[in-house]
Amino acid sequence: MQIKIFSIPILGGEAVNEDMNAFLRSKKVIQTEQRLIGDGDGALWSFCIKYVEDYSPFLKGGKDKVDYREVLDPICFERFSKFRETRKKLAAAENAPAYTIFTDEELAELSKMEEVTIANMKSVKGIGDKKADKYGQHFISIK
């Protein structure tokens, strides 16, 4: 755990305030303490922030973004793109996030299959009976 202290003048402290906000967005904050301190010349806020140094896994969701155009061959990528469009339409119809239908990883695996069927769809990690039965028909006919 680390500690950082910011002192922000009540008048004219906008730049320091922006610095503190940028700092807060980049760290996992454990605790904050604040005090208003006055003296003869004015007043300032003093913030003591306790934080964890490496917050990047939380910001990125813990995974690097995959460029499927580079990972898949051109034919598979074309099918993958069609799968994503279908997923987007299904998600919009259900008013749900697209990844709840199928993740990009699942769609990439489906796009590599010679023939997509309900049965072989279930062989993809993350796709069980429920997902395959509910959404499978929408993806089977896509070439």
pLDDT digits 0-9 by tens, 65-78? 888 888 889 999 99
Reported as a pLDDT band with limits 50, 70 and 90, residue 63 is low
Mean pLDDT for 11-39 is 87
Reported as a pLDDT band with limits 50, 70 and 90, residue 40 is confident
Alpha carbon distances (Å) from 89 to 84, 118, 127, 135: 9, 20, 19, 12
∠ CA 36-4-31, rounded to 5°: 75
pLDDT at position 13 over 60? yes
Q: Is 72 left (phi over 0), alpha (psi -120 to 50) or beta?
A: beta
**Which of 12, 47, 8 has its CA nearest to residue 27?**
47
Torsion of CA 134, 114, 126, 88, to 10 degrees: -60
pLDDT at position 56 over 80? no
Mean pLDDT across the chain: 86
pTM higher than 0.85 = no
**Which of 9, 14, 13, 15 has its CA nearest to residue 41?**
9
